[in-house]
Chains A and B, each alone.
Chain A
Amino acid sequence: MNYSSPHIWLIIAALGVGTFLIRFSFLGLIGARRLPPWVLRHLRYTPVAVLPGLVAPLILWPEATGGNLDAPRLLAACATVLAGLLTKNTLMAIIAGAVTLYGALFLLG
């Protein structure tokens, strides 16, 4: 990470202000007006629109292995998704992924 300390604080502050304004928007400024259905329809997908694209390169080209696909990491990724789909529980999915990762790193060396 090549950011100076003031730069990092700028990111933290701007992200804090931006996030607060998003949360405050209707509650504080716009009032009890309803959002048009087409806006709601797009907002519903914001987390699943960003996070998968963010995570895909991390799994296919992990930095720790010099960008090469790595069996323990790939197995851990699959286990996490599977557990998340089955349990609908983020914490259970993290545990399943971590156990698989350490298990596979131990077995496959």
Chain B
Amino acid sequence: MNAQTNRSSYLRGILDGVPIVFVAAPFAMLFGAIATEAGLTILQVMGFSVVVIAGAAQFTALQLMNDNASTILVLATSLVVNLRMAMYSAAMAPHLGDAPLWQRATIAYMNFDQTYALSQAEYERAPNQPIARKVAYFFGTATPLIPVWYGFTLVGALIGATIPPEYALDFAMPITFLALIAPALKSAAHVAAAVTSVIVALALAWMPSGLGLIVAAIAAMLVGAQIEQWSERRAS
């Protein structure tokens, strides 16, 4: 009976996760193609998608490596992009915190924007279901995603090596970043943070690659948080 309900939660997770694949596949392919064009070997490209498994941070690292930024700045900036995932981890902890360690570690590896969003919605809908079912659902959402992420990175890497430069692939990266940013501009505070980031980064463009960007990111975070606080106060 229990095994059966766990199984049905897992299957439901898979069904909910399938639509994500249509976003993840082209995104992974783009990363594979651009990273190969930038000069990484296929094994290194795959290393990024398997070891890091975080699209926006992978693109960020690649762009800074294109600029020959120092290792520490490549790492710091890309990890700042991923800091939001600490928030996801904190949101999952009340639901999954009592699961066995290997399950929590596996979930951590698979905790992306999309698996988090689906699982969070599921746990809010049914907060009192047994923890094994919550874990099964989470694993379900990641099941279609992960092989597609690996596989299409490889497809992109194989294709990227054959694309001639006149196809303006140089601009695929900026377009990808803009396409990630625009839907994330959910409030005035988000817009203010984005504008701050642009202004400070351009003003500090004379600094060594990546350094001005870190300063810009910190300034933008402070501005976003401050404006959020102001608008909350005004609303209450």
Binding site for B on A (CB under 8 A): 1-3, 5, 7-16, 18-20, 22-28, 30-35, 38, 40-60, 62-64, 73, 76-77, 80-85, 87-91, 93-94, 97-98, 101-102, 105
B192 to chain A, nearest CB (A): 9
Complex Cα gap A55–B201 (Å):
9
A24-B87 contact in complex given A47-B81, A48-B184, A60-B202, C-beta closer than 8 Å? no
Please determine whether B220 and A94 come into contact, CB atoms closer than 8 angstroms: no
Choice from B27, B38, B200 contacting A90 with Cβ under 8 Å: B27
Binding site for A on B (CB under 8 A): 22-23, 26-27, 30, 38-41, 44, 47-48, 51-54, 56-57, 60-61, 63, 65-66, 68, 71, 74-75, 77-90, 92-94, 96-97, 101, 104-105, 107-109, 111, 168, 170-185, 189-190, 193-198, 200-202, 205, 212-213, 216-218, 220-222, 224-225, 228-229
Please determine whether A45 and B61 come into contact, CB atoms closer than 8 angstroms: no
**From B191, which residue of chain A is reached at the shortest CB distance?**
A48
A103 to chain B, nearest CB (A): 12
B226 to chain A, nearest CB (A): 9
Most buried by A among B80, B181, B185, B200: B181
Choice from B30, B89, B171 contacting A26 with Cβ under 8 Å: B89
Choice from A1, A49, A80 contacting B68 with Cβ under 8 Å: A1
Please determine whether A44 and B75 come into contact, CB atoms closer than 8 angstroms: no
Please determine whether A26 and B90 come into contact, CB atoms closer than 8 angstroms: yes
Please determine whether B175 and A76 come into contact, CB atoms closer than 8 angstroms: yes
Please determine whether A93 and B183 come into contact, CB atoms closer than 8 angstroms: yes
19 CB < 8 A contacts A-B:
A11-B65, A15-B61, A22-B85, A22-B86, A26-B90, A47-B81, A51-B60, A54-B177, A54-B201, A55-B174, A62-B171, A64-B170, A80-B182, A85-B185, A88-B183, A90-B179, A91-B179, A97-B178, A98-B172
Choice from A26, A64, A76, A81 contacting B86 with Cβ under 8 Å: A26
Complex Cα gap A26–B89 (Å):
5
Please determine whether A56 and B202 come into contact, CB atoms closer than 8 angstroms: yes
Contacts of A24 in B (CB 8 A): 89, 104-105, 108
Complex Cα gap A81–B172 (Å):
14
Contacts of A90 in B (CB 8 A): 23, 27, 179-180, 183
**From B213, which residue of chain A is reached at the shortest CB distance?**
A53
Contacts of A14 in B (CB 8 A): 71, 75
**From A64, which residue of chain B is reached at the shortest CB distance?**
B170
Contacts of B82 in A (CB 8 A): 18-19, 22-23, 46
Please determine whether B51 and A23 come into contact, CB atoms closer than 8 angstroms: no
Most buried by A among B60, B171, B184: B171
Contacts of A88 in B (CB 8 A): 183
